[in-house]
A and B are shown apart, each in its own frame.
Chain A
Amino acid sequence: EVQLVESGGGLVQPGRSMKLSCAASGFTFNNYDMAWVCQAPKKGLEWVATISYDGSSTYYRDSVKGRFTISRDNAKSTLYLQMDSLRSEDTATYYCARERYPGITSHFDYWGQGVMVTVSS
């Protein structure tokens, strides 16, 4: 059974940093691209970042470029999101998701339960 379990969220002050982790199991982690998707309270979904299966390529939405870093440790089957210079607008539930690429387009076939990040003084 595919499982994605996020951890590391909580309350953080504006301008500070936080690192999220996502432990994967039930599939061969290093065969899949992985992503982070966020959802502000009572709002829609926003793709945040994607990392290729081997970590060689990363992609970010403009609003987090230069502040967030997606990474992975394939030996530990773990995905990370380092979030620096946090802003109040980063407040959201962050989901780890497995990305599938059957052809020329992508979708997310498994999602974690999500972890809440609240940026507030």
Chain B
Amino acid sequence: DIQMTQSPASLSASLGETVTIQCRASEDIYSGLAWYQQKPGKSPQLLIYGASSLQDGVPSRFSGSGSGTQYSLKISSMQTEDEGVYFCQQGLKYPFTFGSGTKLEIK
């Protein structure tokens, strides 16, 4: 199985700050990387797919980058509504696997 290692496990950011979350795959996943945001008691919401494509309706302050085994999600200007848990997911091979999550809070 492809292992997804996500970091950091948690972080806090001030309003307007730029935030970066990392995800590393145990093998090349050819940009088959998606990012999701989950708020308490809610289902995950797709933010980014194909490593860098922004899902319709997602604010442009979210961006994704990376290739091979290393990927990142950037929030360019932290907003209150961005609090939540962020997960990465590889979609190259079954079983699809997720990172362990990054809890993002407002400082």
Contacts and interface: CB of A to CB of B under 8 A. Distances in A.
Chain B residues touching A, range? 20 to 34
A109 to B, nearest CB: 5
A104 B30 contact: yes
B50 interface: yes
Interface of B is mostly: loop
A59 B92 CA distance: 14
A111 B96 contact: no
B87 A105 contact: no
Interface stretch (A66-74, A75-83, A95-103): A95-103
B32 A106 contact: yes
A47 B96 contact: yes
Contacts of B96: 47, 50, 106
Interface stretch (B15-23, B40-48, B74-82): B40-48
A36 to B, nearest CB: 11
Nearest to B33: A105
Nearest to B42: A113
Given A59-B94, A105-B30, A114-B43, 16 more contacts: A44-B87, A44-B98, A44-B100, A45-B36, A45-B87, A47-B97, A59-B95, A95-B43, A102-B49, A105-B31, A105-B91, A106-B32, A107-B89, A108-B44, A109-B49, A111-B45
Interface of A: 44-47, 50, 59, 61-62, 95, 100, 102-114
17 contacts: A45-B87, A45-B101, A47-B96, A62-B95, A102-B49, A103-B50, A105-B31, A105-B91, A105-B92, A106-B91, A107-B50, A107-B89, A108-B34, A109-B49, A109-B55, A110-B46, A114-B43
